[in-house]
Amino acid sequence: MSSQIRDMLRTIRLNINEQRRTTQILRGELEAALRTCDDSIRLEPANALHYMHRGVVRQRNGDAAGARADYDRALELDRRCTNAYVNRGLLLATQGQYADALADYNQAIYLDPRNATAYNNRALVSRVLGNMTAALADYNQAIQLEPHSPVAYSNRANLYFLTGQYDRAEADYRRAQMLDPRYMSTVDHVTAIRTTLGPQAGQTSDTGNLVTELP
C-alpha cells in the first residue's frame, strides 16, 4: 500500500473518530469516547487537539489528574491551543486554584480575543475572588460576543443578584429564560425576593446562595 493511500485512509479514520467522539459525548458514552480519543492519538500522536479532546472526556468522567495531564501535553505540543487553556482553566477553577485558572483564561483571551467562553469563565473566577468590576466587564464582553447564549445572561444576573441589583438581575434572568426555558424557576425566585423585600430590594447582597451558577 502506498504512503498516499495510507495517509488518505488515516484522514478518513480521523474524520470518523471526530464525529464518533462528539456523538458519544452527547450520549454520555464517556468510556467509548475515551477509546475513540486514544485511537486518534495513536494515529496522530503530535496533534495537540486530540489530547485536548481526551482531556475534556477525562474531566467529564471524573479523572481530574488524567485531564490535567492531557491539557498539559496539548500545550506542550501547541502553546497556541486556546481551548486547552480554557478547559484547563475550568479544571483548575473547580479545584480552587483560582490564580492559575485566571492565568489560563488570560492567555486564552490573549490568543483569541473573541472567545466568549473564556470571558465568561474568567468572570466566574473574578467573582469568586471578589473582583466584581472585572467580572461584570467580562460578562458584558461575553454577551457582546454571543448575544444569543443564555449562560452569560444568567451569570451576569447572578452577579447583579449578589450585589443587590435585583431589577437588573431579573431583566437578565428573563432574557436567559427567553433563550432557554430552563431558567424560568430562577426568574420566579428573583421576583419572589423582590416582592418580599419591597423597598429594601437592591440594598443587600446576602442572597447569593439562592442562585445556582451554570458552567
* pLDDT tens digits, 71-87: 999 999 999 999 999 99
The ranges of the chain with pLDDT < 50 are: 201-215
Amino acid symbol at 25? I
pLDDT value for 193: 66
- Determine the pLDDT at residue 212: 26
pLDDT score of 196: 61
In the numeric block, which cell numbers belong to residue 134?
472585572
Judge whether 14 and 40 are in contact, CB under 8 Å. Answer: yes
8-state DSSP, 133: H
pLDDT of residue 208: 31
- Residue 175's pLDDT is what? 94
The three cell numbers of residue 9 are 485512509
pLDDT given for residue 197 in this prediction: 64
**What pLDDT was estimated at residue 40?**
97
pLDDT value at residue 94: 94
What's the pLDDT score for residue 42? Answer: 96
Q: Exposed, middle or buried by CB within 10 Å (0-12, 13-18, 19+), for 145?
A: middle
Tell me the three cell numbers of residue 98. Answer: 483560582
pLDDT of residue 198: 58
C-beta contacts of 39-43 below 8 A and 24+ residues apart: 39/13, 40/14, 43/10, 43/13, 43/14, 43/17
